[in-house]
């Protein structure tokens, strides 16, 4: 337990793992605050993963929790088109979690940070009734104009999404329903990985920003809910054709096994962490090529129109899902 190990012993162990800081961090873990020397402008976001809300400790390895905590925070930077810089982690340690367990969780975050060029520059450790990881991430850009917000979409812009949707929701369902006989094992594994190990689309976000995206958001709460945020901030309406939404392989089989409409997972499920972007029609082809060069795929699924809110057009007159609300 943390009180048996000692807060300062744990911080010392974490500091030893990180070694010397790298730019833009000048002073990292060990003092009252980190010191950084960024160039240009910065984008800062705070996110958290909490036991029982974002993961189940009995089915989620500790290192995967660390990776997911950092990945979900970095996804916010991806939606701004920012270059990732520093991260700060707050670890809430419940009774029974050992120093070894804390270090394993941190190792997962450290592995993801190394993969995306992120410097873990500090944080905090506290006792907690439930395991949680709160993450602050800082991204960088040369100028404010290089960053993409939610609020600058224009009427006539194309609405497009990276990757495929529904995988995370289907992966979560696989913990509660029997695996369908017609679901290949590799697809089942990919669905579970999508929920446990989200990947921030940082390269795709940078590519979209450079290609002229006017507004962006990461799809964390479901397509309907997150499209609504774009519409509200940009002061217009979004029309989305759900028949055009790319769906991850295996989602339909899992949805049918659970007695659900696949659209409920593909458009209403959350935690896919793909990017929903608006961009001028003339920029679409270049953006698709840029995203492909970054290793992703960009699919047009709708358009920005006069009005307010989001209109989701479901095939066959089916009821369109909306998405997930963290506080409902």
- Which H or E element spans position 99? helix 99-116
pLDDT, tens digit, for every residue of 83-93?
Answer: 999 999 999 99
Backbone angles phi and psi of 63, in degrees to 5: -65, -30
Confirm if 170 and 254 have CB atoms less than 8 A apart.
yes
Strand-pair partners of 193: none
CA 224 remoteness from chain centre: 16
| CA distances in angstroms from 82 to 79, 141, 145, 252, listed in the order given | 8, 6, 11, 34
Query: What's the CATH architecture for 158-317?
Result: Alpha-Beta Complex (3.90)
pLDDT, tens digit, for every residue of 143-174?
Answer: 999 999 999 999 999 999 999 999 999 999 99
Q: Would you call 177 helix, strand, or coil by DSSP?
A: coil
In the block, tokens 């991260």 appear at: 87
Confirm if 237 and 293 have CB atoms less than 8 A apart.
no
In the block, tokens 């270059």 appear at: 83
Tokens in use for 71? 């990945």
| DSSP symbol at 183 | S
pLDDT, tens digit, for every residue of 198-240?
Answer: 999 999 999 999 999 999 999 999 999 999 999 999 999 999 9
| CA distances in angstroms from 318 to 150, 242, 312, 314, 315, listed in the order given | 28, 10, 10, 5, 6
Confirm if 165 and 98 have CB atoms less than 8 A apart.
no
In the block, tokens 């500090």 appear at: 122
Strand-pair partners of 201: none
| CA distances in angstroms from 219 to 150, 164, 206, 306, listed in the order given | 12, 11, 16, 23
Strand ranges, E, within the chain: 25-27, 35-36, 41-50, 83-93, 119-127, 132-141, 158-162, 215-219, 237-241, 274-279, 298-305, 309-313
Q: What is the pLDDT of residue 32?
A: 67
- Average pLDDT of span 162-188: 93
Neighbours of 41 (CB within 10 A): 15
Confirm if 171 and 164 have CB atoms less than 8 A apart.
no
Query: What's the CATH architecture for 2-146?
Result: 2-Layer Sandwich (3.30)
Confirm if 94 and 131 have CB atoms less than 8 A apart.
yes
Q: What is the pLDDT of residue 11?
A: 61
pLDDT tier for residue 2 given thresholds of 50, 70 and 90: very low
Confirm if 211 and 287 have CB atoms less than 8 A apart.
yes
- Domain positions in the chain: 2-146, 158-317
Burial letters 207-222, b for 16+ CB under 10 A, else e: bbbebbbbbbbbbbbb
Average pLDDT for the chain:
90
pLDDT, tens digit, for every residue of 53-83?
Answer: 889 888 899 999 999 999 999 999 999 999 9
User: Which stretch of 17-31, 127-141, 161-175, 303-317 has the lowest confidence by average pLDDT?
Assistant: 17-31
């Amino acid at each position: 337990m943390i009180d048996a190990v000692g807060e300062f012993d744990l911080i010392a162990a974490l500091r030893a793992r990180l070694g010397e800081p790298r730019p833009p961090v000048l002073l990292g873990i060990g003092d009252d605050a980190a010191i950084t020397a960024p160039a240009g402008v910065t984008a800062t976001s705070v996110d958290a993963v909490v036991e029982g809300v974002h993961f189940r400790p009995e089915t989620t390895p500790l290192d995967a929790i660390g990776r997911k905590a950092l990945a979900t925070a970095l996804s916010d930077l991806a939606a701004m088109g920012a270059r990732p810089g520093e991260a700060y982690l707050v670890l809430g340690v419940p009774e029974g979690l050992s120093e070894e367990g804390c270090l394993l969780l941190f190792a997962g975050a450290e592995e993801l940070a190394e993969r995306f060029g992120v410097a873990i520059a500090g944080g905090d450790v506290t006792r907690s009734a439930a395991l949680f990881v709160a993450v602050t991430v800082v991204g960088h850009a040369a100028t404010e104009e290089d960053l993409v917000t939610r609020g600058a979409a224009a009427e006539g812009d194309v609405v497009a999404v990276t990757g495929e949707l529904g995988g995370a929701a289907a992966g979560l369902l696989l913990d509660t329903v029997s695996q369908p006989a017609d679901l290949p094992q590799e697809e089942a594994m990919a669905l579970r990985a999508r929920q446990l190990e989200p990947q921030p689309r940082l390269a795709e976000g940078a590519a979209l920003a450079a290609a002229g995206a006017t507004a962006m958001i990461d799809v964390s709460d479901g397509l309907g809910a997150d499209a609504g945020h774009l519409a509200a901030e940009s002061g217009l309406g979004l029309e989305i054709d759900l028949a055009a939404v790319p769906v991850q392989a295996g989602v339909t089989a899992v949805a049918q096994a659970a007695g659900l409409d696949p659209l409920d997972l593909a458009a209403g499920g959350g935690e896919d962490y793909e990017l929903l972007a608006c961009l001028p029609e003339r920029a679409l082809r270049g953006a698709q090529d840029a995203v492909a060069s970054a290793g992703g795929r960009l699919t047009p699924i709708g358009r920005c129109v006069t009005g307010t809110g989001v209109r989701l057009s479901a095939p066959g007159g089916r009821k369109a899902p909306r998405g997930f609300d963290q506080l409902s």
